[in-house]
């Protein structure tokens, strides 16, 4: 009875709307509004033009396409697919006359035109949508689904069918004689409580997010984004470390049971580097032709589906995903994620053994795009990769948004539980905020938003904002991206030589190389790279949820270009002062992400990765030492300034920090001598499994620039005390019974489960006559049964080598306060050799201008020989010419007989004023060699200029050398910046 009463009320409401002509009134001719999700956008009907959607027959080849354009008098719309053409209709000024012209042309050319519409501009976008006479209607969950019949009758519409993935969603079509347009009717429907949403089945402007322009070039096998060795002046290791990820056991290169759906324009699924990985519908494979053998509503969907023709649910699409003549994008995108490896052919995708589900949908309507996503969910895809989005200012279609959210929240069902599909979305290639204003698909909370990085570990200017999650390699820097291309002469890489591409050849590529392109790029490439890494993660543990996969990708990202990224010390997320986030959590690292969940028997962490942080940029990665900064030219950040150790000197904090947020809020203090200080330590777990029985042990030692060697039985005894505690003084070990996930993705939030412990540290009596330094180090070790200290660490007694390479170990050098010291900064430290062999060593001081550092006992910059385990004392004096604060590091460099270059051993940082961060400084030797590099650059520039000016130089050579000249000039600018830094930040050596 209640349902009947609700239906009567709804029908009455519909009737009232029909009797209210003002509901369809416009403020002015051709001016109206578009209502979606309770938002109202201004809309303008474009007079004098109509849009026609061409059939596959009309665009079978370039000649046929041109004849079609000539016959119709049409031309392509640059922001829409080539399948959509605009035809002038100068006498058609209003909706009724525009629709009449469109219908007339459809009847006149039934073989060429499959749909038509009028052009409308919505919101702030100047790009035209195509408004068809069809509307997508979603009946509210609490309403009778039979209401659609009443709506159709009242609004003079035909019900074309319902969504095969959602029985409450329908497509209706206005009868030809109706003077109203679909925009007005959908607005009316949106006012009904029984309608969840309604909107016209638009053809919306879509961006295929490759780098414009995308030229052609010969195939080249060096895929720097997988393993960067410094090709073409790139930065070594500015990559995703795919080769190391693939080495993680049998599932390292991927698992065929993990399905990655590429939803794009046409996909050349028969490409020799893609065909072997095709997803196969086994029910259709063994079934009968022209029969829906698995009953999923799609006949013979053996290897995916083409939804592009889906104007209506009736006879919707087919199983032919092949690209039309103009469709190059999808095949290149697919190769980035799924090209097969070790098959003797062209390229490798990031997940070369995952299965490839091709779905063609772009250049269709909103309905087609939403169906494609729903189909991927129904098929059981684990990952969906979208290298496209709607053009800037275009309002997002509700049905597409709903399909994405449904895939992410209800897809990938295992044992009745929805794990969620990992949906990866490319941000825009243009530099704009994708997250606020009129948002982009990448702004949706349930997707992974990916922007761009170069082969020099610099952010490539592209989409940014609060919704950005990750950066991934693409074009820019000195090389573009290598991937699959259309087979043969059709594609980015055809018979023409390429001049704009960074990696172009001067001559036409040979036929054997035309199935690949070296000149792809944009976020279109970055997104499937990330999708492939998600595949590697799920290949090791398919039970992970969508959110766990996203967190792994974010937690293990490398903090590239930190000077520009401005990563927060508290969260690890890009947080420029006064600006919007540009780098997200950093550039993806496939090895670090996959290793976290790979089994311990194959050199993984088995889902448990307990870690402590060495500095503000360290969030647990050890593929490179924690003291390396990922700038274009690698730099150094001290590993002795742990972000997880803080001192509370008497009088103590009233309430000890109990959470990560409280720990961050506490201001670190210098300990007082001859009393008990509290030391707070924070421990994290970025693994997907809870760590148990985590042993936490803190030690202290009088220390210096290089820490003293650990006792010989330090590791065998851990967590118990060593036999010799005369140098390294242990504090009683503590146990964390349970340590849940607490990675960077949740740092500082209510979901941050990091554990904070308190240790009582009895600081020794300061006695200058004992020749002990007034400086010591706190050395922290954490270990769990499922995540012990690495075997390499356990085989070493050198703390300064262990710390930056093992995320179970960290240290903090703290200047001991002498309460009787009244002026200046005078300190003692030990210069030691922790090795079992002699070393050549020296001290240097990294300090700002206007600060002076003097050392007696061991002269700054003077190289000295130290025997095995030998140590010397030095007295340090720091003075200023009036500056109130500074961060000054005394660093010990060393070189052994078997070493080619000098390296940093350890150091001490003196913080003269509170809250001064340790300086990030270039690697040793870099500043000293700037002048030589400047000389080499000048010589290269001279050579390039001479070559370009030769009268007989080929145009291709000139182009290539011109690009090289620009490149070298950029290097020159970098060196000039380093020279300025050298003058501003002095190093005494």
Nearest to 280 by CA among 271, 272, 269: 269
Q: Judge whether 44 counts as a catalytic residue.
A: no
Number of residues that this document lists for the chain: 989
What distance in Å separates the CA atoms of residue 611 and residue 810, rounded to the nearest whole number? 9
Backbone Cα Rg of the chain: 32
Q: Is the dihedral of CA 120, 123, 127, 132 positive or negative?
A: negative
For residue 509, the surrounding DSSP H or E stretch is none
Residue with the two structure tokens 């035209």: 128
**DSSP readout, 334-350?**
HHHHH--SSSSSS---S
What distance in Å separates the CA atoms of residue 940 and residue 890, rounded to the nearest whole number? 37
What distance in Å separates the CA atoms of residue 12 and residue 22, rounded to the nearest whole number? 18
Residue with the two structure tokens 């010397």: 872
Contact between 275 and 269 under an 8 Å Cβ cutoff? The reply is: yes
Beta pairing class for 470-473 and 448-453: parallel
What distance in Å separates the CA atoms of residue 50 and residue 131, rounded to the nearest whole number? 10
Nearest to 680 by CA among 660, 703, 710, 651: 660
Q: What are the residues whose beta carbons fall under 8 Å from the beta carbon of 323, sequence distance 6 or more?
A: 265, 266, 267, 268, 330, 331, 360, 486
Nearest to 525 by CA among 591, 449, 433, 452: 452
**DSSP readout, 907-960?**
EEEEESSTTPPPPPEEPTTTTTTHHHHHHHHHHHHHHHHHHHT-TT--HHHHHH
Structural tokens at position 425: 């979305």
Annotated active-site residue in 329, 475, 684, 989 = 329
Q: Judge whether 264 counts as a catalytic residue.
A: yes
Half-sphere exposure of 934 (CA within 13 A, CB side): 14
Contact between 356 and 257 under an 8 Å Cβ cutoff? The reply is: no
Residue with the two structure tokens 């448990």: 608
Annotated active-site residue in 194, 443, 451, 524 = 524
Q: Judge whether 191 counts as a catalytic residue.
A: no
Residue 409 to residues 404, 435, 546, Cα–Cα distance (Å): 9, 21, 8
What distance in Å separates the CA atoms of residue 434 and residue 723, rounded to the nearest whole number? 60
Residue 187 to residues 154, 160, 632, Cα–Cα distance (Å): 15, 19, 52
For residue 769, the surrounding DSSP H or E stretch is none
Contact between 552 and 608 under an 8 Å Cβ cutoff? The reply is: no
Structural tokens at position 950: 């030769």
Count the Cβ atoms, other than its own, within 10 Å of residue 706: 30
Structural tokens at position 939: 């010589």
Annotated active-site residue in 217, 237, 264, 440 = 264
584 SS3 class: coil
What distance in Å separates the CA atoms of residue 981 and residue 985, rounded to the nearest whole number? 6
- CA 665 to the chain's CA centroid: 29
What distance in Å separates the CA atoms of residue 739 and residue 403, rounded to the nearest whole number? 36
Nearest to 52 by CA among 99, 94, 114: 114
Structural tokens at position 340: 């097969």
Nearest to 476 by CA among 521, 428, 529: 521
Active site residues: 264, 329, 524
């Amino acid at each position: 009875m209640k349902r009947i009463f609700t239906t009567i009320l709804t029908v009455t409401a519909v009737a009232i709307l029909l009797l209210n002509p003002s509901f369809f009134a416009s403020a002015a001719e051709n001016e109206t509004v578009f209502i979606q999700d309770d938002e109202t956008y201004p809309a303008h009907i474009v007079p004098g033009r109509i849009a026609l959607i061409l059939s596959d027959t009309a665009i079978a080849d370039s000649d046929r396409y041109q004849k079609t354009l000539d016959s119709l008098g049409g031309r392509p719309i640059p922001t829409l697919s080539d399948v959509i053409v605009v035809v002038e209709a100068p006498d058609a000024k209003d909706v009724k006359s525009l629709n009449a012209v469109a219908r007339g042309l459809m009847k006149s050319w039934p073989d060429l035109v499959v749909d038509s519409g009028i052009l409308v501009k919505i919101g702030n976008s100047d790009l035209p949508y195509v408004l068809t006479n069809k509307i997508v209607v979603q009946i509210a969950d609490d309403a009778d689904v039979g209401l659609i019949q009443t709506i159709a009758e009242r609004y003079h519409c035909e019900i074309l069918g319902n969504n095969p993935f959602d029985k409450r969603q329908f497509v209706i079509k206005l009868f030809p004689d109706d003077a109203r347009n679909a925009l007005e009717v959908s607005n009316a429907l949106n006012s009904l409580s029984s309608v969840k949403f309604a909107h016209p089945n638009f053809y919306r402007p879509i961006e295929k997010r490759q780098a414009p322009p995308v030229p052609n070039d010969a195939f080249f096998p060096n895929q720097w984004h997988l393993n960067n060795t410094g090709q073409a002046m790139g930065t070594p290791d500015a990559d995703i470390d795919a080769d190391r990820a693939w080495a993680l056991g049998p599932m390292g290169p991927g698992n065929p049971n993990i399905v990655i759906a590429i939803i794009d324009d046409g996909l050349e699924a028969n490409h020799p580097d893609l065909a072997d990985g095709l997803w196969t519908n086994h029910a259709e494979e063994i079934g009968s032709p022209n029969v829906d053998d698995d009953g999923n509503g799609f006949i013979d969907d053996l290897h995916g589906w083409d939804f592009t023709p889906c104007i209506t649910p009736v006879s919707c699409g087919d199983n032919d995903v092949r690209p039309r003549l103009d469709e190059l994008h999808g095949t290149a995108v697919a190769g980035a994620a799924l090209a097969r490896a070790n098959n003797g052919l062209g390229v490798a995708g990031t997940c070369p053994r995952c299965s490839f589900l091709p779905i063609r949908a772009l250049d269709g309507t909103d309905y087609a795009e939403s169906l494609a996503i729903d189909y991927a969910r129904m098929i059981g895809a684990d990952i969906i990769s979208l290298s496209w989005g709607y053009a800037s200012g275009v309002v997002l279609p509700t049905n597409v948004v709903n399909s994405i959210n449904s895939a992410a929240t209800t897809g990938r069902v295992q044992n009745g539980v929805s794990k969620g599909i990992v949906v990866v979305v490319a941000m825009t290639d243009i530099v704009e905020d994708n997250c606020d204003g009129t948002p982009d698909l990448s702004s949706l909370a349930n997707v992974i938003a990916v922007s761009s990085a170069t082969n020099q570990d610099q952010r490539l200017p592209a989409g940014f904002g609060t919704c950005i999650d990750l950066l991934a390699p693409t074009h820019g820097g000195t090389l573009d991206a290598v991937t699959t291309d259309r087979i043969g002469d059709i594609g980015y890489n055809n018979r023409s030589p390429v001049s704009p591409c960074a990696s172009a050849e001067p001559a036409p590529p040979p036929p054997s190389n035309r199935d690949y392109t070296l000149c792809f790029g944009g976020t279109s490439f970055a997104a499937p790279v990330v999708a492939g890494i998600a595949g590697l993660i799920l290949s090791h543990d398919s039970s992970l949820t969508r959110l766990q996969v996203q967190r792994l990708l974010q937690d293990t990202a490398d903090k590239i270009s930190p000077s520009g990224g401005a990563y927060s010390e508290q969260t690890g997320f890009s947080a420029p002062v006064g600006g919007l986030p540009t780098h997200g959590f950093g550039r993806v690292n496939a090895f670090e992400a996959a290793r976290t969940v790979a089994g311990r028997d194959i050199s993984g962490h088995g889902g448990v990765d307990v870690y402590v942080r060495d500095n503000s940029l360290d969030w647990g990665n050890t593929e490179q030492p924690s003291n390396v900064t990922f700038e274009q030219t690698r730099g150094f950040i001290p590993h002795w300034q742990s972000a997880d150790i803080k001192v509370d000197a008497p009088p103590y904090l009233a309430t000890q920090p109990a959470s990560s947020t409280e720990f961050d809020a506490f201001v670190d203090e210098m300990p007082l001598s001859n009393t008990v200080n509290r030391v707070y330590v924070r421990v994290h777990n970025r693994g997907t499994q809870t760590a148990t029985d985590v042993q936490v042990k803190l030690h202290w030692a009088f220390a210096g620039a290089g820490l003293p060697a650990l006792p010989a039985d330090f590791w065998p005894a851990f967590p118990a005390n060593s036999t010799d505690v005369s140098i390294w003084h242990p504090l009683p070990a503590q146990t964390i019974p349970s340590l849940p996930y607490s990675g960077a993705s949740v740092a500082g939030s209510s979901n941050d489960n990091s554990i904070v412990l308190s240790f009582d540290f009895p600081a020794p009596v300061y006695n200058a006559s004992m020749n002990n330094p007034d400086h010591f180090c706190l050395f922290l070790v954490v270990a769990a049964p499922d995540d012990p200290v690495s075997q390499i660490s356990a085989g070493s007694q050198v703390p300064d080598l262990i710390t930056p390479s093992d995320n179970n170990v960290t240290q903090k050098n703290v200047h001991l306060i002498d309460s009787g010291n009244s002026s200046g900064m005078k300190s003692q430290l030990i210069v030691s050799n922790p090795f079992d062999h002699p070393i050549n060593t020296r001290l240097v001081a990294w300090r700002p201008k206007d600060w002076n550092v003097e050392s007696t006992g061991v002269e700054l910059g003077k190289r000295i020989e130290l025997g095995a385990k030998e140590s010397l004392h030095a007295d340090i004096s720091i003075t200023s010419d009036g500056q109130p604060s500074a961060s000054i590091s005394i660093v010990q460099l060393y070189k052994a007989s078997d070493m080619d270059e000098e390296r940093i051993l350890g150091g001490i940082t003196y913080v003269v004023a509170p809250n001064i961060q340790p300086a990030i400084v270039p690697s040793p030797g870099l500043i000293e060699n700037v002048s030589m590099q400047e000389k080499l650059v000048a010589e290269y520039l001279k050579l390039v200029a001479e070559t370009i000016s030769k009268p007989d130089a080929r145009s291709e050579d000139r182009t290539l050398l011109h690009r090289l000249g620009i490149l070298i000039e950029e290097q020159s600018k970098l060196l000039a910046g380093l020279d300025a830094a050298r003058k501003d930040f002095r190093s005494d050596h």
